[in-house]
Amino acid sequence: MKSYIEETLKFIESDEMRDYLREYLLSGDLKGWLNRSICSEIVCFAPVSLESKIPVLELIAEQTEFDDDRNYNDPEKYANEMRIALDERYNNPPGTIFWLQDWHYHDKGCMYCDAFFSEFDAAIRFIKEENERNAEYLENPEKDYSHSITKLIPGDNGKLLEYCEWILNHSGDIWYFDYDVDNKFTPEDWDDIFDYLGSELNLPVPFQPGDIVTADCSPFSRERRVLIVDIHDNHDCCAIQCLYLLPNGKFRVNAFKHNSFHISTAHYHENSHISALYRAKRYNGELTDEETPLGIISEAIKKDPSIWERMEEYIQKNKHYSSNDENDYWGVVWEQFKEHFGL
């Protein structure tokens, strides 16, 4: 008989995270409703097709008890709303248009496609044809490229209105979805219990201060290294703080579970629908020249864990940006930080 916990953990791609969460979920310390909630959330936001999520959500519902007082992340509702989102591909009034956009995380706009179709499946066929046509030019498409399809339906005065949106991987599998953000449209049996385009999980992690960790939220943002500097109680959504590097040579500290290491300025925007926790793992390889500060600060923290308190105070007092430069970032200058702490 399949175990809902083991089936859930298959969606965690990191061996470290999977092994740690297995022990956590099977420890017996958690209430049944909490295990149900955690597993449902892991499955719901995993970077895999909706079709592969639904059976596991149904298994969670079958093997756990519903608690009306604690119905967080209800797997039955998740599964139902995913079925609705899949059916929405074919439940179309006359005049419906499907707007396909291809995305690359280096760009704010489309990579090589911005097209309109009268059928959802026609857009998918186009994706596959374009993938085949461009295969020799794309080095790592599954990691670098994604798609969105927005359903537009006729409104008053001939205006097209955005009804819903699907987020797809490079191959055309639907990973995430949502209805119109202004809530003008909601289908029957839609509870809107969660933001299905969200990217944040609140799971404990096996890491410790001083660990350099890979944060991989592709294909919606670039893979990078971050430095874990504080854990706190490990369970709060803001508990795990990480230090990350900025393109202008500065660095910043923010919440790892919130994917706060992503970067946004007037001319550069990066974000992801995927939580870094699915693939998070310790990094023991060579660092690039750009990543050298992470290794130096990591060694300092491991040598003297108390030093981070002083570092954090310095960062809070000295982070800044230039209001005259729209491409500048809030952060701390590495050379000044290095000199101050004698690193």
Q: Is the pLDDT of residue 30 over 80?
A: no
Stretch 12-38: mean pLDDT:
88
What tens digit of pLDDT does each residue of 143-168 get? 888 999 999 999 888 888 888 899 99
Q: Looking at residues 303-331, what average pLDDT do you find?
A: 80
- Checking if the pLDDT of 110 tops 50, the result is no
The pTM assigned to this predicted structure is 0.91
Q: How far apart are CA 47 and CA 322, in angstroms?
A: 37
DSSP SS3 for 125: helix
Of 44-48, 59-63, 169-173, 314-318, the least confident: 314-318
217-230: pLDDT as tens digits:
999 988 999 999 99
Predicted confidence (pLDDT) at residue 47 exceeds the cutoff of 60: yes
Dist CA 247 CA 222 (whole Å): 13
d(CA 166, CA 175): 8
Residue 287 CA from chain centroid, whole number = 24
pLDDT computed for residue 192 by the predictor = 56
| Token pair 């967080």 in the structure block, residue | 72
- Side by side, which strands form the sheet with 145-154? 110-117, 97-104, 145-154, 160-169, 174-179
Strand ranges in the chain using DSSP code E only, listed in sequence order = 97-104, 110-117, 145-154, 160-169, 174-179, 212-215, 224-230, 241-245, 250-255, 281-282, 332-333
Q: Is the pLDDT of residue 252 over 80?
A: yes
pLDDT for res 284: 93
Cα 74 to Cα 157: distance, rounded to the nearest angstrom:
40
Contact present, 151 and 164 (Cβ < 8 Å)? yes
Res. 319: pLDDT tops 60: yes
- Which two tokens mark 163? 């009804």
Give the tens place of pLDDT for each residue, 123-145: 999 999 988 888 888 888 898 88
Q: How far apart are CA 199 and CA 190, in angstroms?
A: 21
